[in-house]
């Protein structure tokens, strides 16, 4: 029988003599595909795709724990969270100690009441940041151990904030003088710590860490800036008159808020850049943070200051009212201080957000447009 092109029964001159004659249309010459009896699929010549039972090669070795930073669900973890927790706890302890020293040094109960009202904002803001930082470190540790579920993370954050608030309240009740203001400071501080812990339950760990770092920097700067108030009063024209003092105080407050916002935005941007580099170094496939994360981190300190002011006006209302009722001067002072804190928080919010966003924008390069490849002719 002559060989016909395309015929499935054409003779194969190179076919081995012991080939099974009962199999019509067997594999062409050179086909080494194993038959069905060997557990693989019969494939045309040149097809080197492995069958279902075949393995392409040895499986890649699993990464050792800790070699690659986990990025489950696109999460970028907060680097240095334990350090932030220690610094925030130390700042809270410093605020509690300084407030206790001021109250104990007061000559009369009326003066102690006024000093407690003035010191309350510093204690509340410190408790809020401490609750957030300690809860962030705890949830970050739990997530790195594989328990990265949203519900569990939120419950751990709330529990940690509750623990920080309980320790703060007990410390205040044990060390502060036993008067009408102690329970108010203790209860309000505990509430602030619990709310801060709830904030750390978000899955966006890196922006939360940036907010904590920037807020701590802002609080430290405000305390350090108090040493420069007197020279700035003279610089802004405080001539001893009431109008001159009010105008100078307004400009000093705006300068402080502007510088605090700039510092907050730069710290937030620096922290997120650090977190992005660590994530890319440990896992090149980790998604990069987008501009909303930088915007939120820059605005975060101002948002926390506004939240602290809300906690002060709700939880510390009784203490503020008692201090304002002492005299007309105390009432004016409490109103002025509350308005100044609100203005400072708003300035820090907008200046910090704008600074972080501009800093992030300067890191973006021009868009690269790939030339279309010419079609094959």
Query: What's the mean pLDDT when you consider all of the chain?
Result: 77
Q: Rounded distance, CA 353 to CA 210, Å?
A: 12
DSSP string, 174-229: HHS-SSHHHHHHHHHHHHHHHHHHHHTTSS-HHHHHHHHHHHHHHHHHHHHHGGGH
Q: What is the Cα–Cα distance from 34 to 316, expressed in whole angstroms? A: 82
Where does the pLDDT of residue 54 fall: very low under 50, low under 70, confident under 90, or very high at 90 and above?
very low
Q: Does residue 346 have a pLDDT over 60?
A: yes
Question: Each residue of 78-120: pLDDT tens digit?
Answer: 888 899 999 999 999 999 998 888 777 765 555 777 888 888 8
CB-based contact 267:298 (threshold 8 Å): no
Task: Kindly state the DSSP code that residue 152 receives in the 8-state scheme.
Answer: H
pLDDT band for position 310 (cuts 50, 70, 90):
very high
Are the CB atoms for 121 and 98 separated by under 8 Å? no
* pTM beyond cutoff 0.85: no
Q: How many residues does the chain have?
A: 377
Confidence check: pLDDT of 377 > 80: no
């Amino acid at each position: 029988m002559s060989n016909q092109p395309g015929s499935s029964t054409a003779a194969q001159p190179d076919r081995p003599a012991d080939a099974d004659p009962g199999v019509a249309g067997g594999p062409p010459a050179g086909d080494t595909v194993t038959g069905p009896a060997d557990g693989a699929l019969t494939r045309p010549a040149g097809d080197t795709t492995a069958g279902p039972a075949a393995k392409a090669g040895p499986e890649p070795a699993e990464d050792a724990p800790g070699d690659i930073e986990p990025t489950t669900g696109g999460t970028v973890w907060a680097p240095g969270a334990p350090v932030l927790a220690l610094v925030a706890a130390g700042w809270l302890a410093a605020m509690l100690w300084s407030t206790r020293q001021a109250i104990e040094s007061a000559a009369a109960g009326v003066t102690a009441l006024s000093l407690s009202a003035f010191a309350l904002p510093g204690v509340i803001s410190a408790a809020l940041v401490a609750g957030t930082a300690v809860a962030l470190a705890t949830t970050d540790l739990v997530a790195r151990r594989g328990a990265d579920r949203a519900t569990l993370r939120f419950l751990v954050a709330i529990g940690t904030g509750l623990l920080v608030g309980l320790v703060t309240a007990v410390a205040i009740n044990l060390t502060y003088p036993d008067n009408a203001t102690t329970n108010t400071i203790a209860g309000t501080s505990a509430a602030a710590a619990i709310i801060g812990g709830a904030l750390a339950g978000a899955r966006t760990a890196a922006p939360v860490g940036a907010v904590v770092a920037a807020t701590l920097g802002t609080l430290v700067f405000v305390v350090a800036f108090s040493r420069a108030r007197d020279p700035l009063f003279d610089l802004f024209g405080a001539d001893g008159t009431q109008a001159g003092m009010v105008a100078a105080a307004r400009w000093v407050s705006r300068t402080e808020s502007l510088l605090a916002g700039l510092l907050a935005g730069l710290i937030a941007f620096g922290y997120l850049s650090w977190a992005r580099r660590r994530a890319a170094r440990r896992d090149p496939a980790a998604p990069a943070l987008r501009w909303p994360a930088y915007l939120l981190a820059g605005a975060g300190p101002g948002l926390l200051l506004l939240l602290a002011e809300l906690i002060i006006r709700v939880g510390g209302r009784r203490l503020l009212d008692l201090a304002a009722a002492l005299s007309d001067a105390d009432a004016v002072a409490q109103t002025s201080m509350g308005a100044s804190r609100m203005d400072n928080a708003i300035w820090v919010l907008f200046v910090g957000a704008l600074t972080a966003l501009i800093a992030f924008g300067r890191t973006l390069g021009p868009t690269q447009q790939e030339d279309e490849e010419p079609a094959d002719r």
